[in-house]
Amino acid sequence: MYSNASSITFNESGYGRSVLSSVGSRQGCSWGGFLYCLTIHPLLKKLADEFPGCVILAPADDFHITAPPPS
For residue 40, the model assigns a pLDDT of 85
User: For all residues of the chain together, what is the average pLDDT?
Assistant: 81
Q: Which residues contact 20 (CB under 8 A, 6 or more apart)?
A: 5, 6, 7, 8
**Distance between CA atoms of residues 34 and 61, nearest Å:** 9
For residue 46, the model assigns a pLDDT of 93
For residue 42, the model assigns a pLDDT of 92
